[in-house]
Structure 1
Amino acid sequence: MSKIIIPEEIRSEFRLDKEGKAFLSIRASARLLNIDDSGLVRHFQSAEKNPTNLTQKLIEKGFQVLTFSLDGIPDVAFAEIAEYYAMDAGKRCTQQAKMVYKAFAAIGVRTWIQSELHWQQPQVQHLTPSQALLQSVMMLVEIEHKLAIQDQRLMVIEAEKQQATEELTRLPLSSDLAPSIPLRGKINMIVRNKAQRDLISYNALWSKLYQQMYYRLSYDVKARCRHSGMKPLDQIEKDKMFDALYAIASEVLT
C-alpha cells in the first residue's frame, strides 16, 4: 500500500466527512487510475439517458452518479470504478488501475484515504450524571422559552384577527345585488379549476371542449376561426354557442 500515495497537487481534492467517509473529485480519481478525466465525465453524463456498463453498475449499486461532479465520488463508488478500469474496461484498462485495485482489495479505499489525510476517530464525550441533568434542564428551559414566544405570536395574531373582524363589521356594505358571473367567466372558471386540480394544461382542456362541440353539435370552431380570423371564444360568442359550451364544460370537466 505504501506504493500509492496522494500527490500533493491533488490532495485538496480528497475529503472526509465527520463520519470518516471519503470522497474524491473526478480529476483525482482519474489521476489515481491513470485515465483521462474527460472519459469519466462522459460516463457520468450518460447515466440518465444512455448509461454505459460502468454507470449502469454504479446505478445498480445505488449511487447517484449525476451528483459526482458536485459532491465528489464516494470511496465505495471509486472502488467500483477502480475494478472496472482494472478488469472490465477492455483496451482502456490500465496497469495503474490494476495496482490500485489490488492494493485496495486488501485495505479498502476509505482506510487508505483516512490514513493519507491523518484522520482520527472523533472522541465521544461522556457526561457525568450531573452534567447530563444540567443539559436536560437547559434544553427544557430553551423549549419553554420558544413556547412562550410562540404563545405571544399567537396572541398578536388573534388580536389582529379580532380587530380585522370588528373593522369589517363597521364597513358600509352594498345593498345592491352583486352582478352575476357571465357564461364566459363561468366556463373559464371551470377550465381553470380543472387545470389546477389535475395538473392539465389549459390548451389541452380547451381543445377537448372544442372537440366535444364538433362531435356533439357538428360545430367546428377552429375552422370558423381560420375563416374569420377571430379567437375561438370570440367566435363562439358571436355564434351564440356559449350556452352549449357551458353545458359541455359542466359535464366533461367537473
Structure 2
Amino acid sequence: MSKLLLENVSDRIQQEIEIDIQGHGKASIRATARLAGVSDMALRKAFNSANLEPSELAIKLMEQGFNGANLNDWSGIGIPDIAVSTILEYFAFDAGRHCTEQAKLAYKAFAAVGIRTWMQQIKGWQELREYTSLQQPSVRDISEAISPVFCMGTVEPNLVQGLIANEIGKAYPQFKNQMEAVKQLLPMPVEDELITVTNLAKLYMKRGGNRLSSNNTNQGNAKVMNDILISRGMQIRNPNLDAKKNGQPLYLPTELGKQYGKVVLQEAKGSNKTIQQLRWFPSVLSAIA
C-alpha cells in the first residue's frame, strides 16, 4: 500500500477504530472491509457461518483462538486488531479468486510495524500512554499518602521515612538502589529494647512473683497488663473502631506513655501487610509500680 493510499484509508476509517487503555486496537466491520478491499456483507457472512458451516475465513479465525460467539459479537463491538490482521492475510493470499490487491497491499504495509501499532499511531496512542503515566503517584504523593496513616505521630519518624522509601522504590524501580542507600542513613531506634505487652506481662510477673490473670495464659495476662497500663495513664484504647482492620495499634500511648513506649512497624504474620504495634521499654514497670 502506498503512503498516499494508507493515509487516505486512515482518514476514512479513523473514527471506526478504538484503542483501549492497554493499547489493544479494535476496528468496525466497515473499517476492516475497506482495508481488505471487500464488502461489509462478505465479512458478516463469514462471521455468521461460524456456528453452522464455517467458511474458510471463519475457520482461519477460529484457528487463531476465536470462537463462533466471538465472531458473531464483532458485528456490534468491533473486530480485535489480531483478527483484523488475520482477515487481511486471508484476503491477500488465501481467498482464491476473492483475493484483493487492496488486502495484499495493506498486509504488506502492516507486516513491518503490525496492525496494532498502526492503529495506535492513527489514534494517538502515545498521548494515551502519557496520560496513563500521569496517573502514577509522584514521590510527593506517596509521602503525603503514607504519613497521615500513622496514629497521632506516635510512630518513630525515621521508621515512617523508611517505609516511604520502600514504597518509592516499588513505584519507581529505577530509584530502588538510591532508596536502599538512603534507608541505611536513617538512624533507627533500638527495637530490641522494646517488648510486646505479652512479654511485658511476663517480666511484670517475674519481678513481682504473682500471676496476673486467673488462667495464667499469655492472652489473659496481656489483657490484664493492658488494663494496668490504662489505669496508670500510660495508654488509651485506639478510638478508631477499624484500627485492627486498618493495621493500626489497638492501644495508643498517652503523653506520659510516650516516654516509655513507641509504636513500631512490623510485618503481619502470614502476610506482607505492614501493621503498627505499641511496644514498651521495660523501664515502664518502674513507672507503674
Tell me the TM-score normalised to structure 1 length.
0.50
The within-5 A match list for 1:25-104 is: 25-63=28-66, 64-104=70-110
As a proportion of its length, which structure holds more strand? 2
Q: Is the alpha carbon distance of 1:102 and 1:130 closer, same or farther for their aligned partners in structure 2, counting shifts above 3 Å?
A: closer
Q: Does 1:124 align with 2:126?
A: no
In 1, Cα distance between equivalents of 2:148 and 2:93: 58
The counterpart of 2:120, out of the listed 91, 110, 114, is 114
Q: Which amino acid aligns with 2:133?
A: V
Partner of 1:20: 23
Residues 32-62 of structure 1, C-alpha deviations (whole Å, 9 max, x = no match): 1110110100000111122111111211212
Alignment size in residue pairs? 145
Q: Is the alpha carbon distance of 1:11 and 1:138 closer, same or farther for their aligned partners in structure 2, counting shifts above 3 Å?
A: farther
Partner of 1:162: none
**SS at structure 2 position matched to 1:106:** helix
In 1, Cα distance between equivalents of 2:53 and 2:75: 18
The counterpart of 2:6, out of the listed 1, 4, 19, is 4
In 2, Cα distance between equivalents of 1:139 and 1:81: 54
Residues 111-150 of structure 1, C-alpha deviations (whole Å, 9 max, x = no match): 112222222123424435552254458899xxx59x9xxx
The within-5 A match list for 1:201-220 is: none
Q: Contact conserved, 2:33 with 2:40, CA < 8 A, in 1?
A: yes
Equivalent pairs: percent with the same residue?
38
Partner of 1:226: none
Give the deviation of 1:17 after TM superposition: 1.0
> What is the aligned-residue RMSD (CA, Å)?
2.8
Residues 7-52 of structure 1, C-alpha deviations (whole Å, 9 max, x = no match): 5343211111112211110011111111011010000011112211
**SS at structure 1 position matched to 2:6:** coil
In 2, Cα distance between equivalents of 1:48 and 1:75: 22
Gaps of at least 5 residues in structure 2 are 151-241, 246-289
Q: Which amino acid aligns with 2:50?
A: A
**SS at structure 1 position matched to 2:26:** strand
